[in-house]
Structure 1
Amino acid sequence: MPYSNRSPVSEMVPVLDTRSDHTDLISSANQRGAIINAIKQLVPAGSPQPQDDLVLSKLTLLTDQLIQAYQAAGQLQADPFEDVWNRRVYCHKDIVEARLKDATVVVTGGRGCVGSHLIQALEGFKVKKIVVVDVADQGSTPHSAAAPSKQQKVHYTADVRDFDQLDQIFAAEKPDVIFHLAAIRLPYVAEQQVREAITTNIFGTRNVIRLCEKYAVKQCIFSSTGKASRYITGEVYAATKKVCEWLFTQATQHGSTTYGMVRFTHMLDNSSVCEQYNRKVEKGGIVNIHAPDKYICAQNVHEAVSLLLNSLAIAQPQQLEFLVCRNLGWPVETLEIALHKILQSGKRLPIYFQGSPAGYEEGFFRGQVDWDDPTEANMLVNAIEKASSRVDSSGDFIVSPAMPFCPQTFETRLAAVERLLENPETPEANLKTSLAECVLAVARSMYAKAPVELILKVLNWGTDPNYLGLDGMTLDAHRYTIRLMIESLADRRSQSVA
């Protein structure tokens, strides 16, 4: 229903009266912007969750008006992810079948969302055995009981951080193929448990790689994240995944196993964003949203499983490439997701913008995307990676080679992180800093080898004043990325002079 000027927030909020023809004088975008600003003024970002009844009443009215504004723009009529749920991609099934026939396949993290769906898919191929390894204990075989089994599918409770545990499993099962999915996957958890995130994601992955080489595993496929496409990052989860990609790059150059990678984006089937909103709406309380300008690309678990299987098919010896889904559709605003869930519930609930917590603070850098070819923009492949990428024969996937970097720099910086981990008293803030320094140093060596004209384009796209302020970002917010690109040019110049 429309609101009159009797609203207790009428002095703060533009009044929407759907009975009037005058509403077309103001664009729906301006209406939304004004309401959003009113919410921000009422509860500034970083404030504690509001408890005052009057404030909650005002927020509820503002949320009602915001829903009306979205509806006036033709939104909220359907699930924002309706297209994503129904997407399917091609599978190179014949090649996958050939590589899995009579194979013993290990899936680390096999009790997770993607892992469990992957196992279901593997059961449709002529594999010899499926070995599920997960830290979660749900009727699994204890690692100490590792012994050859004639079962089609066996389960082990094991932590990838424990080399000896994994070694016993590899020795018992003699795997041919590994899908390495085990990880601390939630960015906010990685920020709260820095040590565990680093030891699990990085050094757990290193354990898997070492055992692949020790036991002559034929193929190993790793699940990375689109966040690894960032030129640099200080966020723990994204940084650990970048380091993992570099571990696989080195393994490809020096090992005998054939490695492949995929990058996932936001997984709808275990979406932390949707789960949070669902809990809040079901509870009937206030719904907290990070910010109104946050967008996510999403994919469904069937796409994720297809990515993993296709990576197995496409991977070649001594050549590390990663796959991403080519068509991710338009990014979806997290605010729209929350409003749709509130509307569907039939409840009148308030929202507020809490601000971006640790793990979600880094904003979008426009130079991430190749604006010479915007129709092929993909948030999981940065502009420099895109220059050497290709579309696979099915047309559904982008295939991109891993970029070269200085191995000595990587080994030195990673060793520094490991030394800090050896001391259990090392503050987690120091671990995070050392990890960020590792990423920065290796990235600098990487982009020093990129074409000069491409680096200049990235800088121009990322600092374009016509776009920079549209999402509230400033040059200062991207200062580390900008400095990285400038220093990579300087490094190249100094090398040429020398």
Structure 2
Amino acid sequence: MHFAPSPLTPKRLAAFTHDLVMTVVAIGLGYYIRFGADAFSYRANEIVTLIAIVLPFVCVIYWAFGLYAGIWRFASIPDLVNIVKAVTAVSVFMVVLDFVSRGAIIVPRTIVFTNWFILMALLGGPRFLYRVYRDRRLLNRTRRASHTAIPVLIAGSGNDAEIIIRSLETNGHDLMRPIGLLSTKQAHVGQRIRNVPVLGHTSDLERVVERLAQHGQIPRRLILTNEALVKERDIEQVISRARKVGLSVERLTHPGLDSVNGDGRLRLAPINIEDLLGRSTRELDYTMIRNLVAGQKVLVTGGGGTIGSELCRQIAGMSCERLMIVENSEFALYAITKDLKRDFPGIPVEGRLCDVRDRRKVADLVERFRPDLVFHAAALKHVPIVEQHVAEGILTNTVGTVNVADATRKVGAKAMVMISTDKAVQPSSVMGATKRAAETYCEALDALGFAASNRVNGDGGRETRFMSVRFGNVLGSSGSVVPLFKEQLEQGGPITVTHPDMKRYFMTIREAVSLVLMASALGLSSRDRISIFVLDMGEPVRIVDLAERMIRLAGFEPGTDIQIEFTGMRDGEKLNEELFDSGEPLKSTEVAGILAAEPRAIVPATFIEEIEVLRQAIETGDESGMLDRLSAIVPEYVPHKPHQLS
């Protein structure tokens, strides 16, 4: 039953009055069918009594079973089911009334039986007739406007296709007209969905377009259902063929009914490379994140970068008390604070220009703001650049993390979370080694806090938690291959790839940040000493495959229209990245997509001393000495020279 009250609008009141009148008519017709015209002469008092008792009951039942939650214009099977339940309840009530009244009120069984069918027809019939009437009007209006509506093809023949067609039929604002379907199943060819024909398999796109053109119908768009994106193995081929015959390609932004706005319009979006990587974004329960962030003061370093800005958006969206953004780029700070103040006017947002390498200023900002949570995303991340600027990489990635961690610990925040990278595992680059050193420093502080809390509390509770969340490449982040490939495509190629066998892990920005926040919530709620969380990135993707998919997505053919050139690996690069090493076995957590690394045996005091020695080596300006100290701190760091292409 639907006991949630529905507002009593004039239309609902009219529908309610209609149903009460139909109930009276149904009882009268039942008696007429059973007894003929004499029923109204000899059984008038019996009929009136029954109506007087039944009407108050149906007033409650009709509302309870949600007969007025739906809209007649969109009457459907669920509405019919509600009517069946309500009418059956009325019939049962009549039987019970006859039984408990012990002859005072006699309700013949035939009246109960016929009343069920009559009431079903009188309640359900007008609703569905009105639906048919409105659909006809909309269809006629659509036909009249068909000369201006954009003809579209739909790839897919499942529920999403039916929803698209129905939305286009009932909503004239979309100005699109479905003229045919392409199915992922050959058996569907020749069938119809809402009178729209399935013209061929998705592989028949060119032939279908040519045949339609011969009949004067030239499609201009191809809408991909989620079924087509998931089930069609060669979806990039379909997209490429669509672009070649002049079709723009769009997809539903959400599956099923979520793809339709409240006003009935379809939510469509252009196809992105994320749609072609063969991994679906996880559906996450954001309750944990909301419980972590809501009402908290949060500080984000590197808040103007790709990861940092998405962190800020999601944190603001979870109703934090205040948000401070620390950023060393004036424009990036301006852009993110402007966007947040526009999109989340109720959240106090502060932006501060600061370099995390400036220990005094970092300490002063953290002391003044006194955050509950700190997310450290500031870093130098480009492997070749950091290889050429060793001191800058160490100062930012390692010393900068030390500065933020020490300041966080001093004010007693609940937690600091460092954004790490798969390049920190068995590092072959300066960038990876500096991030590994930063991970280890956070792990050392977490171990100190764990030991201190055990001494004081004896229950494994924590002081400030220090955690690192490690993941691979993020699609579309600044300086990554996706923006580079897009730029090269716009220039007509060639696409440059360093090595044909190079593989990388990829994840969307939103999913990566959501999992970072969930991992943070897990770390705070867990009583185990887990300092490093690893995101499940799925299967690695060959970079050359990514390049070929992007070329096809642009409507070209790799090797024919756009060439791919292999330039050779650069200093510090590896063919395959890893998310964990043998010294830190992973275990699953309660959240799918998040793994926990077993803590390593670290002597915190010794490691902290080694970090201080590294800082002193930087002050001397001796790059060789810096690398020696970095190798001592991260013994698994083995510099890799480029692999030469044969």
Partner of 1:320: 530
Change (3 A) 1:358 1:430: farther
8 A contact 1:297–1:329 mirrored in 2: yes
Q: Is it true that 1:434 corresponds to 2:629 in the alignment?
A: yes
The equivalent residue for 1:399 is 596
Task: Tell me what 1:99 maps to.
Answer: 292
Distance 1:383 1:348, change over 3 A: same
Provide the secondary structure at the position in 2 that maps to 1:170. helix
Query: CA 1:434 to 1:234, structure 2 compared with 1: closer, same or farther past 3 Å?
Result: farther
1:137 equivalent in structure 2 = 330
Match of 1:177 among 370, 373, 380: 373
The alpha-carbon distance between structure 1 residues 330 and 311, as it changes in their structure 2 partners (threshold 3 A), is closer
CA 1:287/1:319 → structure 2, altered by over 3 Å: closer, same or farther?
same
Matched-pair contact (CA < 8 Å) for 1:261–1:311: no
Distance in 2 (CA, whole Å) between partners of 1:383 and 1:198 is: 25
Asked if 2 retains the 8 angstrom alpha-carbon contact of 1:180 and 1:222, the reply is: yes
Amino acid at match of 1:298: F
- Where does residue 305 of structure 2 map in the other structure? 112
1:381 aligns with 2:575: no
Query: How far 1:157 sits from its partner (Å)?
Result: 0.8
Question: Who is 2:436 aligned against?
Answer: 242
* Residue 260 of structure 1, aligned match among 461, 467, 470: 467
Instruction: Tell me the CA shift for residue 402 of structure 1.
Output: 2.7
Question: 1:286 matched to which residue of 2?
Answer: 494
For the structure 1 residues 284 and 94, does the alpha-carbon distance in structure 2 shift closer, same or farther, using more than 3 Å as the test?
Answer: closer
Deviation at 1:399, TM superposition (A): 1.8
- Range with bigger deviation, 300-309 or 79-88: 79-88
**Which residue among 288, 300, 304 is the counterpart of 2:508?**
300
CA distance in 2 between partners of 1:345 and 1:272 (Å): 22
Distance 2:637 2:607 in 1: 6
- Give the counterpart letter for 2:580 in structure 1: V
Q: Distance in 2 between matches of 1:266 and 1:329?
A: 12
- Cα shift at 1:441: 7.2
What secondary structure sits across from 1:399 in the alignment?
Answer: strand
* 2:607 counterpart residue number: 410
Residue matched to 1:350: 563
CA RMSD between the two structures: 3.0
C-alpha separation in 1, matches of 2:302 and 2:608? 27
Give me the whole-angstrom Cα distance separating, in 1, the residues matched to 2:493 and 2:550.
13
- Provide the rounded CA distance (Å) in 1 between the counterparts of 2:513 and 2:366: 23
Paired with 1:75 and 1:93, the residues of 2 have a C-alpha distance of 31
Change (3 A) 1:259 1:408: closer
Offset of residue 252 of structure 1: 0.7
1:273 Cα deviation from its structure 2 partner: 1.4
Equivalent-residue separation in structure 2 for 1:336 and 1:139 (angstroms): 32
Residue 54 of structure 1 is matched in structure 2 by none
Sort the Cα spacing of 1:409 and 1:175 in 2 relative to 1 into closer, same or farther, 3 A: closer
Alpha-carbon distance between aligned partners in 2 of 1:384 and 1:151, rounded to the nearest angstrom: 43
1:90 to 1:324, Cα distance in 2 relative to 1, 3 A: farther
Deviates more, 1:240-249 or 1:265-274: 265-274
Q: Deviations over 1:272-328 (max 9, x none)?
A: 1122222222222433221111011101112211122112211146823322233x3
Structure 1 residue 240, shift from structure 2 partner: 0.7
Residue number among 372, 376, 388 corresponding to 1:192 in the alignment: 388
Equivalent position of 2:550 in the other structure:
341
State the shift of 1:414 in Å.
3.1
Classify 1:74/1:101 alpha carbon distance in 2 versus 1 (closer, same or farther; 3 Å): closer
Name the aligned partner's letter for residue 591 of structure 2. S
Report how far residue 156 of structure 1 moved. Answer: 0.7
Is 1:421 equivalent to 2:629 in the alignment? Answer: no
Separation in structure 2 between the aligned mates of residue 98 and residue 167 of structure 1, nearest angstrom: 27
Task: Give the Cα–Cα distance (whole angstroms) in 2 for the partners of residues 417 and 298 of structure 1.
Answer: 33
* AA at the equivalent of 1:175: P
CA shift, 1:413, in A, is: 4.1
Q: How many residues align?
A: 345
CA gap of 1:275–1:392, structure 2 versus 1, over 3 A, is same
> Structure 1's 240 and 399: CA in aligned 2 closer, same or farther, altered over 3 A?
same
Instruction: Write the letter of the residue equivalent to 1:323.
Output: F
- Residue 87 of structure 1 pairs with residue 294 of structure 2: no
Secondary structure, aligned partner of 1:440: coil
Q: Whose Rg is larger?
A: 2
Q: CA 1:405–1:441 in structure 2 vs 1: closer, same or farther (change >3 Å)?
A: farther
- 2:364 is the counterpart of 1:154: no
Higher relative contact order (CA 8 A, sep 6+): 1
Q: 1:214 to 1:364 in 2, by over 3 A?
A: same
AA aligned opposite 2:551: I
Assess if the C-alpha contact under 8 Å between 2:295 and 2:319 holds in 1: yes
Name the CA distance, whole Å, in 1 between partners of 2:290 and 2:514. 13
Q: For the Cα contact (< 8 Å) 2:236–2:276, is it kept in 1? A: no
Q: How far, CA to CA, are the matches of 2:616 and 2:579 in structure 1?
A: 32
Between 1:431-440 and 1:290-299, the stretch displaced more is 431-440
Alpha-carbon shift at residue 116 of structure 1 (Å): 1.2
- Partner Cα separation in structure 2 for residue 434 and residue 205 of structure 1: 17
Is the Cα contact below 8 Å between 1:102 and 1:127 reproduced in 2?
A: yes
Q: Could you state the TM-score of these two structures normalised by the residue count of structure 1?
A: 0.63
Q: In the alignment, residue 602 of structure 2 is paired with which amino acid?
A: F
Give the CA deviation at 1:332. Answer: 1.3
What amino acid maps onto 2:541 in structure 1? V
Are 1:359 and 2:558 matched, yes or no? Answer: no
Provide the rounded CA distance (Å) in 2 between the counterparts of 1:435 and 1:139: 30
- Opposite residue 587 of structure 2, the aligned amino acid is R
Q: Structure 1 residues 116, 391: CA separation in 2 closer, same or farther (over 3 Å shift)?
A: same
Q: Quick check: 2:417–2:520 contact (8 Å CA) kept in 1?
A: yes
For 2:588, the aligned partner's letter is V
Query: One-letter code of the match for 1:98?
Result: N
SS in structure 2 opposite 1:224? strand
* 2:476 aligned counterpart, secondary structure: helix
Relative to 1, partners in 2 of residues 1:263 and 1:420: Cα closer, same or farther, differing over 3 Å? same
**Is the 8 Å Cα contact of residues 322 and 348 (structure 2) preserved in structure 1?**
yes
Correspondences of 1:20-59 after superposition (within 5 Å):
none
**Residue 432 and residue 322 in structure 1: after superposition, are their counterparts in 2 closer, same or farther (change >3 A)?**
same
CA spacing shift, 1:112–1:430, aligned 2, 3 Å:
same
| Alpha-carbon distance change, 165 to 409 in structure 1, aligned in 2, over 3 angstroms | closer
**C-alpha separation in 2, matches of 1:289 and 1:220:** 37
> Which aligned runs of 4 or more in structure 1 are off by greater than 6 angstroms?
none
CA distance in 1 between counterparts of 2:512 and 2:580 reads: 16
In the TM superposition, residue 140 of structure 1 has moved relative to its aligned partner by 5.0
Give the 3-state SS of the residue equivalent to 2:357 in structure 1.
coil
SS of match in other structure, 2:600:
coil
Amino acid at match of 1:181: A
Deviations along 1:93-148, whole A, 9 cap, x unmatched? 3343333232110011111111111111112223110111111113859xxxxxxx
